[in-house]
Structure 1
Amino acid sequence: MNDEAIRMRSVSRRHGTGEGAVTALDQVSLSFPRGTFTAVMGPSGSGKSTLLQCAAGLDRPTSGSVTLCGTELTTLSETKLTLLRRRRVGFVFQAFNLLPSLTAEQNVTLPLRLGGHRPSTARVREVLRQVGLGERARHRPAELSGGQQQRVALARALITRPDVLFGDEPTGALDSRTGREVLALLRGMVDGEGQTIVMVTHDPVAASYADRVLFLVDGRVSGELAGAGAGTIAARMATWEAVPC
């Protein structure tokens, strides 16, 4: 368990009841080792986002257990779950979700300030330097490129030194060159700092930056690839329907 950042055991998530119920996850058991980069892929409706939300404590599974760094999430109260997410989990989404009237450093600190915490200026500048924006702390979103705005969002996710960083299509709104720059930054965080990253993506190039790629089909894990290139991943994507669950 000491080497596992996340452990999911027999996790199912169903929406609705009766004949209209939809099973988004079906008895999923997975481990995400510390200091690794995992990409999650699958066709539309396969359960990718639900997997991410359950692993991060954003959604509660209907059954099964989710453990994050030794803490069982499914038994926590909403208050304790919120505190755990705030302190130990970071999120980066396709939308940057920056407030246009705030500077980069103000956007980075906003979630903490809303939670009643005031990070040191040194820590804010440290994470901005970490994402390559040390000279842009006083710039507002309109003065930054799309890639730079996503870097601000990444710095905001890293400000608390999270145990796990979750990304939901983090490069989906970026052009290919800028997306590769952000992905290289994520890869460097894993290799250089031991960060644990779990990323949902539909892009085989993005997935190729990960240590392993998990494939979901109809809410079940249908297989995985380790250290695969974009071509191999794309070929696997083409055979989703033929892969046995």
Structure 2
Amino acid sequence: MTDTAIELRSVSRRFGSGDNAVTALDEVSLAFPKGTFTAVMGPSGSGKSTLLQCAAGLDRPTSGSVAMGGTEMTRLSETQLTLLRRERIGFVFQAFNLLPSLTAEQNVALPLRLAGRRPSKARVREVLGQVGLGNRARHRPSEMSGGQQQRVALARALITRPEVLFGDEPTGALDSRTGRQVLALLRGMADREGQTIIMVTHDPVAASSADRVVFLFDGRVNGELIGAGADDIAARLTKLEAVPC
């Protein structure tokens, strides 16, 4: 057994070849302990989204390895990877990606239906209740605010009880008040449910909700802050953005 949810070992990801090759990740080694909330930050082009995609099994590294618990993800076939993501990983993105013709409860149940499993109405209502939308089960996305839609997306990610929840700018399209509500939900999932949260963000206020902030620069890890406030995170990010390329 391991206390690490996701571990990257010497992960590199290159795109293209020859003179046109671009190195998005360069020998990155990182461990994400179970039950923790980690924010990943860095200037534009630093490799944040590529890191998330490789860690979540959405993209394969050019070299190095990614492990989820005791499972070496880089050795899995595409079919095995798809099953692992479906059963053990949740995703929340800046775009809510809800189907407009479906109600909140139908959107939440969708991952189970796609997996060929019959969703329990009680479980669907439970996760909607977790995100404060127990009374919105029969509403369609057009009848909800942006924050409510993002919370439906969060409930959809939770329906399979994922071991790790990945967020790619999950509060990027929300106003500050609604963003704080979503971050409080993520914080609570780590604290009360023991879930592992890995979130890419550009927002120091959002990052301050995390236990740890990992900084990337030019595809490499450039230090981290533990339990830092928004001002310290912003100052560190500003220094990175000021570094000449």
Specify the TM-score bucket, using the shorter chain as the normaliser. over 0.9
Report what 1:155 is aligned to: 155
Report what 2:8 is aligned to: 8
Report what 2:176 is aligned to: 176
For normalisation by structure 1, the TM-score amounts to: 0.97
- 1:193 matches 2:205: no
For normalisation by structure 2, the TM-score amounts to: 0.97
Contact 2:43 2:241 (8 Å CA) reproduced: no
Contact 2:98 2:107 (8 Å CA) reproduced: yes
TM-align CA RMSD:
1.0
Q: Specify whether residues 114 and 47 from structure 1 end up closer, same or farther in structure 2 by C-alpha distance, changes over 3 A only.
A: same
Runs of 4+ residues deviating >3 angstroms: none
The sequence identity of aligned pairs, in percent, is 82
> Secondary structure of 1:44's match?
coil
> Secondary structure of 1:198's match?
strand
What is the rounded CA distance, in whole Å, between the counterparts of 2:81 and 2:101 in structure 1?
A: 30
> Secondary structure of 1:182's match?
helix
What is the rounded CA distance, in whole Å, between the counterparts of 2:80 and 2:119 in structure 1?
A: 21
Report what 1:76 is aligned to: 76
Amino acid in structure 1 at the alignment position of 2:125? R
Where does the alignment leave 5 or more consecutive residues of structure 1 unmatched? Answer: none
What is the rounded CA distance, in whole Å, between the counterparts of 2:70 and 2:174 in structure 1?
A: 35
What is the rounded CA distance, in whole Å, between the counterparts of 2:144 and 2:196 in structure 1?
A: 27
What is the rounded CA distance, in whole Å, between the counterparts of 2:101 and 2:240 in structure 1?
A: 44
- 1:123 matches 2:123: yes
Report what 1:240 is aligned to: 240
Where does the alignment leave 5 or more consecutive residues of structure 2 unmatched? Answer: none
Q: After the TM superposition, which of the residue ranges 30-39 and 111-120 deviates more from structure 2?
A: 111-120
What is the rounded CA distance, in whole Å, between the counterparts of 2:134 and 2:65 in structure 1?
A: 40
Report what 1:215 is aligned to: 215
What is the rounded CA distance, in whole Å, between the counterparts of 2:7 and 2:188 in structure 1?
A: 24
Query: How many residues in Structure 1 have an aligned counterpart in Structure 2?
Result: 243
Report what 2:34 is aligned to: 34
What is the rounded CA distance, in whole Å, between the counterparts of 2:68 and 2:119 in structure 1?
A: 24
Deviation at 1:241, TM superposition (A): 5.0
